[in-house]
Amino acid sequence: MQYIYGIHAVDALLRRNAAQIQRLLVQQGREDKRVAALLELARNQGVAVDRSPRKALDALVSGRHQGVVAETLARSAGASGDNEWEEAALLRLVDEGEQAAFILVLDGVTDPHNLGACLRSADAAGVSAVVVPKDKSADLSPTARKVACGAAEVVPFVKVTNIARTLAALKERGVWLFGAAGEAETSLYEADLRGPIALVMGAEGSGMRRLTREACDHLVHLPMAGSVSSLNVSVATGICLFEARRQRGA
């Protein structure tokens, strides 16, 4: 079993993939409006609900569950949810999409909190899909889903075997690759992000890998006015995504 927890994450799962939920565990004594709305949604979706003491929920998950935990079937190796795509689906989206591609590539972000925060920003900015490598990257764990506040259930999440090969396939389809690098000469605010683009962000600390960096058409940096030399990857991602959103229009 896998446990998805938190009001927003469970709400999104109920709306998008209720069939995956075996039962919804709700803390005894929680009767506020947000929980009541979840209970009504669960009833409408035919999901069984059990009331459990807080200590029982605390024992199931390590994060702050807000009184709700969805018990789901653990995915088998290679299985995917509705929003977990293969590379072929990503390339079809680029080929057939009505709007210019707007893709976020995370090259080795391993902290599930950072992944969740990046997914939340990606959803808010209108990103077409988020791409990560299958190895040396955080997955859609319960922690990532909780931090994403529902975005993990709606933003297409693409795990690829070879990031460099995927980037090459995107370039063949007219997608411009913009990599974030502190040493880049061009500022983010000088870059033209209005067309089909993929924004590439590197791992915490080490940044993009060499082959990923070499695949990028342009490297851009965030102007830093203070004494710190870098930002958390999820913060930097949010800034870059919303500069692209600004240029592309609301």
Judge whether 13 is annotated as a binding position.
no
pLDDT at 77 exceeding the cut of 50:
no
How confident is the model over 48-63, as pLDDT tens digits?
999 999 999 989 888 7
**How many domains would you assign to the chain?**
2
pLDDT at 80 exceeding the cut of 60:
no
Cα–Cα dist 35/174, whole Å: 46
Domain holding 150, by residue range, is 84-248
pTM above 0.85, yes or no: no
Q: How far is CA 48 from CA 10, 25, 42, 82, in A?
A: 14, 9, 7, 21
Give the number of residues written for the chain: 250
Q: Is there a single domain that holds both residue 104 and residue 169?
A: yes
Cα–Cα dist 153/81, whole Å: 9
Mean pLDDT, all residues of the chain: 89
Q: Is there a single domain that holds both residue 19 and residue 107?
A: no
Q: Is there a single domain that holds both residue 66 and residue 142?
A: no
Q: Is there a single domain that holds both residue 114 and residue 194?
A: yes
Judge whether 231 is annotated as a binding position.
yes
Handedness of CA 1, 138, 199, 94 (dihedral sign): negative
Residue 84's pLDDT is 85
Residue 229's pLDDT is 67
Judge whether 222 is annotated as a binding position.
yes
For the residues 69-96, what does the mean pLDDT come to?
Answer: 77
Residue 102's pLDDT is 97
Q: Is there a single domain that holds both residue 64 and residue 152?
A: no
For the residues 135-152, what does the mean pLDDT come to?
Answer: 89
Q: Is there a single domain that holds both residue 66 and residue 133?
A: no
Residue 241's pLDDT is 97
Residue 82's pLDDT is 61
Q: Is there a single domain that holds both residue 235 and residue 190?
A: yes
**Bigger pLDDT: 200 or 63?**
200
Q: Could you tell me if residue 200 is inside a domain? A: yes
The C-alpha torsion from 197 through 203 and 208 to 212, rounded to 10°, is -60
Q: Is there a single domain that holds both residue 17 and residue 52?
A: yes
Q: Is there a single domain that holds both residue 217 and residue 157?
A: yes
Q: How far is CA 217 from CA 142, 167, 169, in A?
A: 35, 10, 13
Cβ(149)–Cβ(118) below 8 Å: no
The CATH code of the domain that includes 201 is 3.40.1280.10
Residue 156's pLDDT is 94
Q: Is there a single domain that holds both residue 105 and residue 12?
A: no
Q: Is there a single domain that holds both residue 68 and residue 134?
A: no
Residue 61's pLDDT is 85
How confident is the model over 22-57, as pLDDT tens digits?
999 999 988 889 899 999 999 998 999 999 999 999
